[in-house]
Amino acid sequence: MSLTNPPKPLAASLQSLWLRGALFVSAGGVVGSLYLSLEMELKACPLCLYQRAFIMATAAILGFGLFMRGVPSAAFTPLALASATAGACVAAFHLYLDVTEILECPAGVTGRITAPGESFIMYLLVLTLLLGDLFSQRTYVTHGLGAMLVGFVFAVTSIRATPPPATPPAPYTTELDGCRKIYRVPMAK
């Protein structure tokens, strides 16, 4: 054991793991969203675009936070929580529209669940890791909770700014290549 480099306390090591895990998951979300567009050639609806913007912001904040010298990494957790909360709320709303069959959404990267479902799961993982960091370091807890409130406001304004999907006049003749409103047979008068 060297006297010049004493071992880090266990709490400091765990705190670093929370943020590194959140960065890893959010970077995976960025790669996944790019894969959906570039490789699977899916068209992003407005709700998808908001989710992508929020996960990219989360990954950028965490990336800079973990690699900037002289700035405590714990200070970046509330910043990342704002965008992660906003994305999670938009993803939850998008998943609600999918589950209630207002929208039909394509399968995501895994091919097992829809893209909004995958997005929601990814956001839950990021939020869990960020909240783990927030409560383990206890420095900026009120800031983090305030940031989550700001994120909720961001989500509500994003959802309200999203135009409703157009009602299809006839059954679709094209393959599902993005989220779209489900066609319903008009009721007879």
d(CA 60, CA 126): 13
Cβ-count burial 114-134 (b if 16+ within 10 Å, e if not) = bbbbbbbbbbebbbebbbbbb
d(CA 28, CA 117): 15
d(CA 46, CA 114): 16
Res 73 pLDDT > 90: no
What the block records as the tokens of 112 is 């097992």
What the block records as the tokens of 11 is 């709490």
Res 34 pLDDT > 90: yes
Give the pLDDT confidence score for residue 85 in this predicted structure. 98
pLDDT tens sequence across 105-158: 999 999 999 999 999 999 999 999 999 988 887 778 899 999 999 999 999 999
Please, which pLDDT band fits residue 9 given cuts at 50, 70 and 90?
A: low
137 vs 56, which has greater pLDDT? 56
What the block records as the tokens of 40 is 């699977």
The partner residues of 181 in beta bridges, in order of sequence, read: 103
Are 166 and 44 in contact by the 8 Å Cβ rule? The answer is no
Give the pLDDT confidence score for residue 11 in this predicted structure. 54
30 vs 13, which has greater pLDDT? 30
d(CA 139, CA 23): 20
Helix (H/G/I), strand (E/B), else coil: 46: helix
Are 86 and 54 in contact by the 8 Å Cβ rule? The answer is yes
Phi and psi of 21, rounded to 5°? Answer: -65, -45
CA torsion angle for 52, 147, 121, 92 (degrees, to 10)? Answer: -80
Considering only 7-21, 34-48, 76-90, which range has the smallest mean pLDDT? 7-21
Give the pLDDT confidence score for residue 8 in this predicted structure. 54
Give the pLDDT confidence score for residue 97 in this predicted structure. 96
Q: Could you tell me the residue ranges of all domains in the chain?
A: 14-163
What the block records as the tokens of 104 is 């039909």
Average pLDDT (82-111) is 96
Give the pLDDT confidence score for residue 72 in this predicted structure. 78
Res 176 pLDDT > 70: yes
